[in-house]
A and B are shown apart, each in its own frame.
Chain A
Amino acid sequence: MILGIDVGGTHTDAVLLNKDGLLASAKVITDHQDLLSSVRAALAEVVRGYDTAKVKRFNLSTTLCTNAIVQGDLEEVGVLVSAGPGIDPGLFGIGTCYAVIPGGLDHRGTEIKPLDLDQARSKIVEFKERGVRIFSVIGKFSPRNPKHENQLAELLENTCDFLTLGHTLSGQLNFPRRVATSYYNSAIWPIFNDFANSVADSLNDFGLQPPHVNILKADGGTMTFAQARQTPVESIFSGPSASVMGIMAICPIESDAVLLDMGGTTTDVAVFADGDPLIEAESVELAHRPTLVRAMKTKSIPLGGDSAVYASQGTVSVGPRRMGPCMAQGGDVPTLVDALNCAKQYFYGQTQASDRGMQILGQELGWSPDQVSWEVIHEFCRVLKQETLDMLNEINERPVYTVHEFLEYRQIVPQRIYLMGGPAQVMAPFISQAFGLPVVVPDNYAVANALGAALARPTMQAELFADTEKRIMTIPVLGVSERVGNRYSLDQARTDVVNHLCAYLTNHLDWKVPQFEVEIVEESAMNMVKDVYQVGQDIRVKCQIRPGISPDYQNAVRCLCKEQ
């Protein structure tokens, strides 16, 4: 059996399932002051009557770290950076204990100025005197050569509670993002670590001892609790990824498609290319600081069931303000739900109140309540469509770097819309009409997020970088650094990165992944020339394991997902 819990903004959902289907589900209100109590309440309800010893896997998606960052509930971090030539590293300062240590590497990872260890030592002493117990160390171009980060780590060894080394988080080049990501990773560690301990205790209390305990990441994959204690920052923004994985668990998605998850205040849009969810190319922002955390490409449109509708310039407008609840639930301002009620499409709450709201709005415009209701519904769909198309345009405009990519680059053209959330069933025909596309409303969508959390499998990305002139090969996120011969080739690099990734997953995640699951997403081998002689090759390979549903559970909750 698998147990999945999604701690969402409004509800905490839990599901219990086996290979044959959903066994039980539970929904409780999320208590933002005490997330653990919400987890415990959902746990208690969902496992009632089942043999908890049979639960082999527990997967959790939580807003804990996101909330901690949004609310600024962070511990002070000592941030030490080494930079080298370029933009003034002082501009990337974060937190109150930020120090630039003289020293630097160039773009090939060559040391152009040794790290000033004395200054590093004195900064560490200074920060510790100010009560700092957790640190982050970040070097410019550290994915090319982690030397300065390792030197700083050595100075801190065994004298701090937690330490983040920038190059271990991502092989992607982006120093300011590496600084911010490393800072947040350390800053949320205390809160995450305590939470992880409490969750482990709670599982025990309910007689649960699953061998696999995982947490959902923003890219739709999972990581073990042990891993998450090292990289808690990866657990941010797992909400949208839970819903994307949920729809993938329920519906067999094969084409380009769009997922619309309609909530009260917003509708979240996600995009699929050939059935695979799109990952944000440049990763997400935290408190206005871009980071290196890979996340699902999603867009939150300020348009939902509780968005206020009003008259403006002789016609109706919808959103972006939320004035809910709807009048049918005792609110003061009419919303989309009231329009649906009045148009006799929905029968939710006090429908007379909805009619009254539409009548008042109609009087303002000189229209009948029926007419105004339909205008609201169509305006809602129109704006939703426009915002979705804007997002697709932006995706299709993404930069390319080779002639081949430029000529072959495939545009994403959705063939189908998957619709989830409160009024999904009712809105399906109107959305279908507005987009001119078939719409699918999956069964079980009420607990889709928890299903997504439960059935997601690990994801991983690794970048290999080899410089045959320097005879080095590194895979920063896996901590691999090896000497290679001067004839090391792209073929060998491809084999190496796949083997190292699979070995890492087997050793650290106890997950034996077949090599064909590892996909090469980018590769290049360029001759390095000095004067007119080739002196080596610059080889780069990036591979990943895509987000997906656990193979054993492919058919557990899958439905027909018929078009409407």
Chain B
Amino acid sequence: MQRAVNSLGVVFFPAFDWAISATHPERQERLLYTMDQLKEEGVFDIPGIREYKPDVADMDDIRRVHFCFPDTASNLTNSHLISAGGTIKSGQLVMEQEEDKAFALVRPPGHHAMKVVHGGRGFCNVNMEAVMVENLRQHYGLGRVAIVDTDCHHGDGTQDIYWHDPETLYISIHQDGRTLFPGSGFPGELGGPKALGKTVNIPLPPTTSDEGVLYAIENAVLPILEDFKPELVINSAGQDNHFSDPLTNMNVSAQGYARLNELLNPNIAVLEGGYSIQGALPYVNLGIVLAMAGLDYTCVREPDYDPEAIRQERRITEYIKKISQAALDGYFSPPTAHMSREKQGDFFIRSKEVFYDTSFITERQREYLLDCPHCPGLLRAETSSSKTKNCLGLEIPRLGCEHCQAEGERIFEQEKSRGKFTNIQFINRVDGTCRRHVIGP
């Protein structure tokens, strides 16, 4: 009998009674065969690997992270709270040193959920990784964190949430946004003015194989991590780069995913997407579990695995070399020329339109970040959606200074009496409170 080299806690919550709709990729069956494979392999009998029950996340855990409109509860189901709770549990296992590593094998996923939430997009309502990280920061004083998102889709939600946070490094490796939802994640997206370079995007061309993904990990991600020196590395572990995934066009195998986790050596992995539920997930999840536990995974091969059939073309290899170099340049020496153009008065401004493809909602948003010399700055998000109009989100960041705190309180009071916004959510991360002001019915 083998024994895990790294002790590993697996928080497994397949939500066998939750689906977006009957034949939607995000449906009950999604982790069924993964569960069968893990059980049949006897994974939870391996000394050092333990299965845990998820916790249920608190509304406060969600309110700390998202501006939810019209309110927090209506954007959620119990399933989201348990999936988020399972992710938090995996974080606690590591922070409490109960386990060396943890894998939150939970659904529904979350990496397309942005700072402002009006509904579901890309199968996501709340951001599991962010909810966990902010919970751990609140309760354990966790500081620098790196989130490495290896889902095939750009994690635009996680990127948006941490756009202005210099303490959170977000790296996404994904299929090029010109060819796949959500159509973002280009090398020029480097983070906000106060966190420039702390967002890194490595878009890979369709048909990229194990070789290309592992090249980017070794030659771009690892050097950046080494420089950033995070206290915690989180793998946002989507599994849809797999050669059999029905929604994407990549050629990564279970061996590639296992090796990726061996190289990246994350403290925590959180399941994201991955919809080849029979041909990929059982093997990829098994590979990740074994790799995280430091065990041999060489026999974990899909029945239809043929390395020759998915070998990467040379021109793709060359392209990935260039894109990896671009990622390094973006992190180590990000350009700053554009910053002044985005500024009005004391505020940096960002405008965006967001489409919630899962809930069919459109949103217009204008975001203002106070250019504060002492802290990452007060954040103000004015947002209107086809569902809820005239909403305002205000946030004093975790490392907010006294001036930004006072300014936040002042604006909150002012906007309450002004009445332009009918729904205001005010997050104060310094004192850990969240207030909401609603006008009308």
Interface size on A, residues (CB 8 A): 46
Task: Please name all residues of chain B whose beta carbon is closer than 8 Å to the beta carbon of A88 when the two chains form the complex.
Answer: 296, 298-299
29 interchain pairs, CB-CB under 8 A: A84-B303, A85-B299, A85-B301, A86-B40, A87-B42, A87-B290, A87-B296, A88-B298, A91-B1, A107-B33, A107-B37, A175-B40, A177-B42, A397-B53, A399-B51, A399-B53, A400-B53, A401-B13, A401-B35, A402-B15, A404-B17, A406-B56, A407-B78, A526-B29, A526-B32, A527-B28, A528-B29, A529-B27, A534-B23
Known A141-B40, A175-B41, A398-B53; judge A527-B301 contact (CB<8 A): no
Known A-B contacts: A86-B37, A113-B303, A401-B35. Give 5 more (CB < 8 A). A86-B300, A87-B299, A141-B40, A527-B23, A529-B29
Mask, A87-115, CB within 8 Å of B = 1, is 11101100000000000101110001100
Interface with A: B130-138, B225-233, B278-286, B360-368, which one? B278-286
Task: Please name all residues of chain A whose beta carbon is closer than 8 Å to the beta carbon of B309 when the two chains form the complex.
Answer: none
Mask, B301-335, CB within 8 Å of A = 1, is 11100000000000000000000000000000000
Mask, B50-85, CB within 8 Å of A = 1, is 011110100000000000000000000111001000
Interface size on B, residues (CB 8 A): 48
Q: Specify the chain A residue showing the minimal Cβ separation from B78.
A: A403
Known A107-B36, A538-B29; judge A406-B300 contact (CB<8 A): no
Task: Please name all residues of chain A whose beta carbon is closer than 8 Å to the beta carbon of B16 when the two chains form the complex.
Answer: 401-402, 524, 526
Known A528-B29, A529-B29; judge A108-B278 contact (CB<8 A): yes
How far apart are B108's CB and chain A's nearest CB, in angstroms? 11
A173 at the interface (CB under 8 A from B): yes
A176 at the interface (CB under 8 A from B): yes
CA distance A400 to B13 in the complex (A): 7
B18 at the interface (CB under 8 A from A): yes
Task: Please name all residues of chain B whose beta carbon is closer than 8 Å to the beta carbon of A482 when the two chains form the complex.
Answer: none
- A403 B278 Cβ-Cβ under 8 A: no
Partner of B79, one of A86, A112, A403, A524: A403
B45 at the interface (CB under 8 A from A): yes
Mask, B11-30, CB within 8 Å of A = 1, is 01111111000110001110
Task: Please name all residues of chain B whose beta carbon is closer than 8 Å to the beta carbon of A533 when the two chains form the complex.
Answer: 23
B246 at the interface (CB under 8 A from A): yes
B2 at the interface (CB under 8 A from A): yes
Task: Please name all residues of chain B whose beta carbon is closer than 8 Å to the beta carbon of A407 when the two chains form the complex.
Answer: 78
Task: Please name all residues of chain A whose beta carbon is closer than 8 Å to the beta carbon of B54 when the two chains form the complex.
Answer: 406
Q: Specify the chain B residue showing the minimal Cβ separation from A532.
A: B23
Q: Specify the chain B residue showing the minimal Cβ separation from A87.
A: B41
Mask, A157-178, CB within 8 Å of B = 1, is 0000000000000001111110
B39 at the interface (CB under 8 A from A): yes
How far apart are B28's CB and chain A's nearest CB, in angstroms? 5
- B37 A403 Cβ-Cβ under 8 A: no
A290 at the interface (CB under 8 A from B): yes
A289 at the interface (CB under 8 A from B): yes
A154 at the interface (CB under 8 A from B): no
- B42 A175 Cβ-Cβ under 8 A: yes
Mask, B72-110, CB within 8 Å of A = 1, is 000001110010000000000000000000000000000
Mask, B263-293, CB within 8 Å of A = 1, is 0000000000000001000110010001000
- B33 A108 Cβ-Cβ under 8 A: yes
Q: Which of B41, B42, B283, B300 has the most chain A CB atoms closer than 10 A to its own CB? A: B42
Task: Please name all residues of chain B whose beta carbon is closer than 8 Å to the beta carbon of A529 when the two chains form the complex.
Answer: 23, 27, 29
A531 at the interface (CB under 8 A from B): yes
A148 at the interface (CB under 8 A from B): no
Q: Specify the chain A residue showing the minimal Cβ separation from B44.
A: A282
Task: Please name all residues of chain B whose beta carbon is closer than 8 Å to the beta carbon of A177 when the two chains form the complex.
Answer: 42, 45
Q: Specify the chain A residue showing the minimal Cβ separation from B33.
A: A107
CA distance A398 to B78 in the complex (A): 19
Task: Please name all residues of chain A whose beta carbon is closer than 8 Å to the beta carbon of B77 when the two chains form the complex.
Answer: 403
- List the interface of chain B (C-beta within 8 A of A): 1-2, 12-18, 22-23, 27-29, 32-33, 35-37, 39-45, 51-54, 56, 77-79, 82, 246, 278, 282-283, 286, 290, 296, 298-303
A48 at the interface (CB under 8 A from B): no
Mask, A521-564, CB within 8 Å of B = 1, is 00010111101111000100000000000000000000000000
Q: Specify the chain A residue showing the minimal Cβ separation from B42.
A: A176
Known A406-B82, A526-B16, A528-B29; judge A85-B302 contact (CB<8 A): yes
Task: Please name all residues of chain A whose beta carbon is closer than 8 Å to the beta carbon of B290 when the two chains form the complex.
Answer: 87
Partner of B45, one of A290, A398, A403, A406: A290
A140 at the interface (CB under 8 A from B): yes
How far apart are B130's CB and chain A's nearest CB, in angstroms? 22
**Residues A267-285 near B (CB distance < 8 A):** 282
CA distance A258 to B170 in the complex (A): 51
Q: Which of A92, A176, A531 has the most chain B CB atoms closer than 10 A to its own CB? A: A176
Task: Please name all residues of chain A whose beta carbon is closer than 8 Å to the beta carbon of B40 when the two chains form the complex.
Answer: 86, 107, 140-141, 173-175
A410 at the interface (CB under 8 A from B): no
CA distance A407 to B77 in the complex (A): 12
Q: Which of A113, A397, A401, A532 has the most chain B CB atoms closer than 10 A to its own CB? A: A401
Task: Please name all residues of chain A whose beta carbon is closer than 8 Å to the beta carbon of B278 when the two chains form the complex.
Answer: 106-108
Q: Specify the chain A residue showing the minimal Cβ separation from B18.
A: A403
Q: Specify the chain B residue showing the minimal Cβ separation from A83.
A: B299
Task: Please name all residues of chain B whose beta carbon is closer than 8 Å to the beta carbon of A113 when the two chains form the complex.
Answer: 303
Task: Please name all residues of chain B whose beta carbon is closer than 8 Å to the beta carbon of A531 when the two chains form the complex.
Answer: 246
How far apart are A83's CB and chain B's nearest CB, in angstroms? 8
Q: Specify the chain B residue showing the minimal Cβ separation from A289.
A: B1
Q: Specify the chain A residue showing the minimal Cβ separation from B277.
A: A529
Task: Please name all residues of chain B whose beta carbon is closer than 8 Å to the beta carbon of A107 when the two chains form the complex.
Answer: 33, 36-37, 40, 278, 282
- B17 A86 Cβ-Cβ under 8 A: no
How far apart are B254's CB and chain A's nearest CB, in angstroms? 9
Task: Please name all residues of chain A whose beta carbon is closer than 8 Å to the beta carbon of B18 when the two chains form the complex.
Answer: 402-403
- A86 B286 Cβ-Cβ under 8 A: yes
Task: Please name all residues of chain A whose beta carbon is closer than 8 Å to the beta carbon of B82 when the two chains form the complex.
Answer: 403, 406
Known A107-B40, A403-B79; judge A527-B53 contact (CB<8 A): no
Mask, A510-528, CB within 8 Å of B = 1, is 0000000000000010111
- A173 B300 Cβ-Cβ under 8 A: no
Q: Which of A87, A398, A528 has the most chain B CB atoms closer than 10 A to its own CB? A: A87
CA distance A289 to B1 in the complex (A): 8
How far apart are B104's CB and chain A's nearest CB, in angstroms? 13
Task: Please name all residues of chain A whose beta carbon is closer than 8 Å to the beta carbon of B12 when the two chains form the complex.
Answer: 399, 401
CA distance A401 to B106 in the complex (A): 10
Task: Please name all residues of chain B whose beta carbon is closer than 8 Å to the beta carbon of A532 when the two chains form the complex.
Answer: 23
CA distance A526 to B32 in the complex (A): 9
CA distance A177 to B15 in the complex (A): 26
